[in-house]
């Protein structure tokens, strides 16, 4: 009996040995920084010297900082855009792809190809296209249709949408793949039955396809919204949050505060706000999943 | 009895011995080697230094310096490390992974010296006599708490670059003050040419050059000193008026057709080089570039932003070399730094339009005509008391951070000039309270 226990303990110890490297990495690279990130927002810290506790000063500053408000609004615009235009576009393309019998993989690869381009390169491509003196407008003018003027990044209030178009170009292929994969799992007999009963194409989409896709759409939408509140790369590459914070997001703002701004303490407070938003969104998703049965 | 345990211990002990011996033969062993003549050679180790290609041609003098040092010290290996930006360097410093020798701008160097990341260099200044020919104002950019903390890399000024052929063909003359500038720019615009090419989408920090040129032109060298470190306030009516003038100037379409924030600095240079723009605000560092447009380029002092003012060339240091306080080989790094003053390195720096801030005979060097002319222009301005101060070398850190990130808020009218300058003044006062300003005595 004792021998069995000893073997079992040894087996457990071996298990821990295998887990240990990963566990230590997680403790030092994730857990400790995560706990520290709950303390840093309440400090004055330039990112170099030791942080000094300053109570709720950063919290108060957060509510007086107009840039935080503008950045938050841009994150909302980002989320609204991504859950509508690219998602509908991806759904439409996935629906069409699902209908074709030949060359589906080729089209899928083409749509997905932009997703494998790095953000830096994608951003630079769109910067060239948007260049008001040598980009799309220049060639439209050469083609004799100079009356079509694409503002690109020249109108600050519209800049965020043109950055979004670049981001959509880079990222919508992923949604197409997700939705297409879900559509191929749909029960085709339901569509056939609806057709025999005389249902039109729109009714089939609305009453047969969409309800079956709901779990995928819920998770795609959830991830899209969460990603939207972390929007950083494309904005940083294309505009750096400018001009005059017109394209600022919470992520670009706290990055700048923490690095060039040397206000890592306050930057952490802005990051904490972003985490709080993510927690609220996840809680809403949890509620919908539990109470409304929006299971995935 | 489990017999495997002692075996395991033996294996671990042996592995440790091998690991330790492997470490000892690596970069930080400090072992002494005898040379062919039986003399005791110097220690063998590796120094981590900045990548000589970090700024392309502009930083090629580093390679000249490294080569000269390695020739004299064959046992010391220089490992070039790329720190792609200051954020990467800051992270490396905090984690103890920064290079032994570092490139750093003055304000960052001061912050980091206060946090004990940089070594004081007074002893090395005395030992090698680095400041014998160094301009005092340049050395002072790297003085904190009366301690020398770095070596200024170069000096640089802001100038007006213009299309000489275009000016000749149209009979235009170079403006020297605001009135002349305002008389000229409508004529240029009427020809369908942009008066100024400018771009800041890739680096909003360059807008700081405009503010620097404007305040130097309006206040003069002494007034600028007072604005950065003395009693003159950013809300001074002359500054309010000058910044408002720039906002009106920009909104009149004289700067990249009101699209400067939508294109990069390189794009704006292309506008200038293709003859679509007549002028550029630029730095002396760009004069060595091999641009070959089909017209002549010339440069002059940037016009004063005062109605009848005289031009001032704002000068500053572009960066500096500092020693990591955690370096185990500070003496060796100092000796490497000493190569920075060797004739070959001084010449390489000057040839790239970024002269070292030391008194030397540039006339004896084979410099490009543009570079020679710029050096003469700077020297003449300095002699006449017409050289000013760039904000990125001498401005209060918090103020500079706003100048380098938020100037578009003014000309895009997201705020009023008065409110924006009041915010700058508040930030200056914070820096004064925390003793983070450039000491008036050190100008």
| Residues A48, B259: C-beta atoms closer than 8 Å | no
Instruction: Check whether residue A212 and residue A117 sit in a common domain.
Output: yes
- Minimal CA–CA distance to B210: which of B158, B143, B172, B278? B158
Residue A55 lies in a domain: no
Token couple for B181: 């500038």
What value does the mean pLDDT take over residues B192-216?
Answer: 94
Superfamily of domain B156-316+370-442: Periplasmic binding protein-like II (3.40.190.10)
Confidence of residue B287 (pLDDT cuts 50, 70, 90): confident
pLDDT, position B31: 43
Please give the mean pLDDT across all residues of chain B: 87
| Residues B267, A152: C-beta atoms closer than 8 Å | no
pLDDT, position B255: 97
- Minimal CA–CA distance to B162: which of B186, B178, B147, B181? B181
Residue A86 lies in a domain: yes
Confidence of residue A24 (pLDDT cuts 50, 70, 90): very high
pLDDT for A293 beyond 50: yes
Which carries the bigger pLDDT value, residue A88 or residue B4?
A88
Residue A50 lies in a domain: no
- Torsion, CA B267, CA B272, CA B274, CA B276, rounded to 10: 100
pLDDT for B25 beyond 80: no
Which region, left, alpha or beta, applies to residue A60 given φ > 0 means left and ψ of -120 to 50 means alpha?
alpha
One DSSP character per residue, A99-153 reads H-SSSHHHHHHHHHHGGGS-HHHHHHHHHHHH-TTTSHHHHHHHTT-TT----TT
| Residues B267, A243: C-beta atoms closer than 8 Å | no
What value does the mean pLDDT take over residues A141-162?
Answer: 91
What value does the mean pLDDT take over residues B168-181?
Answer: 96
| Residues B414, A245: C-beta atoms closer than 8 Å | yes
- What whole-number percentage of chain A has pLDDT above 90? 56
pLDDT, position B224: 96
pLDDT for B11 beyond 50: no
Confidence of residue B325 (pLDDT cuts 50, 70, 90): very high
**A120 in contact with B, Cβ within 8 Å:** no
pLDDT for B250 beyond 90: yes
pLDDT for B13 beyond 50: no
| DSSP 8-state symbol, A46 | -
Residue A188 lies in a domain: yes
Chain A CB contacts of B250 under 8 Å are none
What domain count does chain A have?
A: 2
pLDDT, position A1: 63
Query: Which residue on chain A is closest to B408 by alpha carbon?
Result: A244
Q: What domain range is A40 assigned to?
A: 4-10+15-44
Chain A CB contacts of B263 under 8 Å are 131-133
Instruction: Check whether residue A146 and residue A271 sit in a common domain.
Output: yes
Residue A117 lies in a domain: yes
Residue A53 lies in a domain: no
Q: What is the C-alpha end-to-end distance of chain A, expressed in Å?
A: 46
Instruction: Check whether residue A95 and residue A204 sit in a common domain.
Output: yes
- What whole-number percentage of chain B has pLDDT above 70? 91
Interface ipTM:
0.79
What value does the mean pLDDT take over residues B156-165?
Answer: 93
| Residues B262, A152: C-beta atoms closer than 8 Å | yes
Instruction: Check whether residue A102 and residue A182 sit in a common domain.
Output: yes
Query: Which residue on chain B is closest to A46 by alpha carbon?
Result: B111
Instruction: Check whether residue A245 and residue A108 sit in a common domain.
Output: yes
pLDDT tens string A232-278: 999 999 999 989 999 999 999 999 998 888 889 999 999 999 999 99
pLDDT, position B28: 42
Instruction: Check whether residue A19 and residue A92 sit in a common domain.
Output: no
pLDDT for B9 beyond 70: no
pLDDT, position B292: 82
CA distance A192 to A80: 34
- What whole-number percentage of chain B has pLDDT above 90? 63
What value does the mean pLDDT take over residues A112-140?
Answer: 92
CA distance A229 to A249: 8
Chain B CB contacts of A49 under 8 Å are 114-115
pLDDT for B12 beyond 70: no
How far is B228 from chain A, CA to nearest CA, in Å?
19
pLDDT, position B236: 97
Confidence of residue A36 (pLDDT cuts 50, 70, 90): confident
CA distance B222 to B387: 10
pLDDT for B212 beyond 90: yes
Instruction: Check whether residue A224 and residue A261 sit in a common domain.
Output: yes
How far is A125 from chain B, CA to nearest CA, in Å?
13
Confidence of residue B39 (pLDDT cuts 50, 70, 90): very low
- Tell me which residue in B261, B267, B270 faces A243 most closely, judged by beta carbons: B261
pLDDT, position B210: 97
Confidence of residue B346 (pLDDT cuts 50, 70, 90): very high
Which carries the bigger pLDDT value, residue B3 or residue B289?
B289
pLDDT for B37 beyond 70: no
Span B42-152+319-353: which CATH code? Answer: 3.40.190.10
pLDDT, position B382: 84
Instruction: Check whether residue A239 and residue A125 sit in a common domain.
Output: yes
pLDDT, position B36: 40
How far is A74 from chain B, CA to nearest CA, in Å?
16
pLDDT, position B430: 92
**A170 in contact with B, Cβ within 8 Å:** no
Which carries the bigger pLDDT value, residue B247 or residue B355?
B247
Q: In which residue ranges of chain B is CATH 3.40.190.10 found?
A: 42-152+319-353, 156-316+370-442
Asked whether the beta carbons of A108 and A176 are under 8 A apart, the reply is yes
| Beta-carbon-side half-sphere exposure of residue B124 (alpha carbons within 13 Å) | 20
- Tell me which residue in B90, B263, B404 faces A47 most closely, judged by beta carbons: B90
pLDDT for A163 beyond 70: yes
pLDDT for B134 beyond 50: yes
pLDDT, position B41: 59
Instruction: Check whether residue A170 and residue A199 sit in a common domain.
Output: yes
The CATH number of whichever domain residue A243 belongs to comes to 1.10.3720.10
Residues of B near A (Cβ–Cβ under 8 Å) read 86-87, 90, 93-94, 111-112, 114-115, 117, 200-202, 204, 257-259, 261-264, 267, 270-271, 276, 397, 401, 404-406, 408-409, 412, 414
| Residues A48, B111: C-beta atoms closer than 8 Å | yes
Instruction: Check whether residue A139 and residue A268 sit in a common domain.
Output: yes
Residue A194 lies in a domain: yes
- Tell me which residue in A48, A131, A132 faces B94 most closely, judged by beta carbons: A48
- Tell me which residue in B264, B401, B408 faces A260 most closely, judged by beta carbons: B401
Instruction: Check whether residue A28 and residue A161 sit in a common domain.
Output: no
Residue A52 lies in a domain: no
Instruction: Check whether residue A189 and residue A118 sit in a common domain.
Output: yes
């Amino acid at each position: 009996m004792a021998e069995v226990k000893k073997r079992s303990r040894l087996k457990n110890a071996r298990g821990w040995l295998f887990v240990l490297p990963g566990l230590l990495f997680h403790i030092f690279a994730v857990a400790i920084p995560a706990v520290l990130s709950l303390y840093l927002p309440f400090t004055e810290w330039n990112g170099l010297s030791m942080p000094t506790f300053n109570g709720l000063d950063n919290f108060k500053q957060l509510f007086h900082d107009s840039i935080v408000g503008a950045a938050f609004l841009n994150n909302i615009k980002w989320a609204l855009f991504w859950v509508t235009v690219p998602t509908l576009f991806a759904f439409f393309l996935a629906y069409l792809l699902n209908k074709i019998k030949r060359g589906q993989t080729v089209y899928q690869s083409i749509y997905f190809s932009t997703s494998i381009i790095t953000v830096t390169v994608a951003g630079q491509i769109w910067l060239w296209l948007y260049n008001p003196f040598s980009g799309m407008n220049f060639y439209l003018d050469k083609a004799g249709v100079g009356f079509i003027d694409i503002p690109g990044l020249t109108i600050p209030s519209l800049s965020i949408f043109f950055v979004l178009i670049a981001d959509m170009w880079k990222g919508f292929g992923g949604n197409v793949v997700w939705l297409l994969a879900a559509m191929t799992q749909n029960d085709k007999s339901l569509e056939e039955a609806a057709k025999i009963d005389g249902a039109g194409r729109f009714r089939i989409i609305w009453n047969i396809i969409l309800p079956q896709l709901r779990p995928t759409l819920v998770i795609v939408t959830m991830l899209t919204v969460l990603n939207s509140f972390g929007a950083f790369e494309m904005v940083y590459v294309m505009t750096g949050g400018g001009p005059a914070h017109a394209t600022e997001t919470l992520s670009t703002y706290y990055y700048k505060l923490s690095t060039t701004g040397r206000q890592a303490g306050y930057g952490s407070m802005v990051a904490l706000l972003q985490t709080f938003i993510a927690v609220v969104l996840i809680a809403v998703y949890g509620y919908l999943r539990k109470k409304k049965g929006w299971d995935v | 009895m489990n017999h495997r345990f002692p075996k395991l211990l033996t294996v671990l002990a042996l592995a440790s011995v091998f690991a330790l011996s492997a470490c000892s033969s690596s970069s930080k062993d400090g072992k002494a080697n005898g040379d062919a003549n039986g003399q005791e050679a110097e220690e063998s180790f590796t120094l981590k230094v900045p990548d000589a290609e970090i700024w392309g041609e502009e930083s090629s003098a580093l390679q000249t310096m490294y080569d000269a040092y390695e020739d004299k010290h064959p046992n010391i290996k220089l490992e070039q490390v790329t720190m792609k930006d200051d954020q990467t360097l800051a992270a490396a410093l905090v984690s103890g992974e920064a290079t032994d020798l570092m490139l750093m701008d003055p304000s960052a160097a001061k912050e980091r010296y206060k946090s004990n990341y940089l070594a004081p260099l007074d002893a090395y200044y005395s030992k090698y006599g680095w400041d014998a020919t160094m301009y005092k104002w340049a050395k002072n950019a790297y003085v904190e708490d009366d301690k020398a903390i770095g070596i200024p890399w170069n000096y640089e000024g802001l100038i007006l670059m213009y299309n000489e052929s275009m000016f000749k063909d149209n009979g235009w003359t170079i403006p020297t003050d605001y009135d002349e500038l305002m008389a000229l720019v409508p004529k240029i615009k009427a020809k369908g040419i942009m008066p100024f090419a400018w771009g800041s989408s890739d680096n909003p920090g360059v807008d700081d050059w405009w503010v620097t040129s404007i305040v130097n032109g309006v206040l003069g060298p002494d007034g600028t000193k007072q604005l950065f470190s003395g009693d003159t306030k950013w809300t001074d009516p002359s500054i309010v008026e000058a910044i408002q003038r720039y906002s009106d100037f920009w909104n009149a379409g004289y700067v990249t057709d009101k699209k400067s924030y939508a294109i990069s600095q390189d794009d704006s240079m292309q506008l200038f080089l293709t003859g679509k723009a007549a002028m550029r605000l630029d730095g002396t560092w760009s004069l060595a570039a091999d641009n070959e447009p089909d017209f002549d380029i010339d440069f002059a002092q940037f016009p004063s932003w005062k109605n009848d003012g005289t031009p001032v060339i704002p000068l500053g240091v572009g960066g500096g070399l500092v020693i990591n306080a955690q370096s185990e080989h500070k003496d060796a790094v100092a000796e490497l730094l000493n190569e920075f003053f060797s004739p070959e390195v001084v010449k390489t720096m000057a040839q790239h339009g970024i002269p070292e801030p030391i008194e030397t005979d540039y006339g004896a060097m084979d410099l490009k005509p543009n570079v020679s002319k710029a050096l003469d222009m700077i020297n003449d301005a300095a002699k006449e008391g017409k050289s000013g101060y760039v904000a990125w070398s001498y401005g209060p850190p918090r103020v500079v951070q706003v100048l380098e990130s938020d100037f578009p808020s003014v000309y895009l009218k997201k705020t009023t000039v008065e409110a924006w300058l009041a915010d700058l003044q508040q930030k200056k006062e914070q820096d004064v309270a925390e003793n983070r300003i450039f000491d008036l005595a050190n100008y």
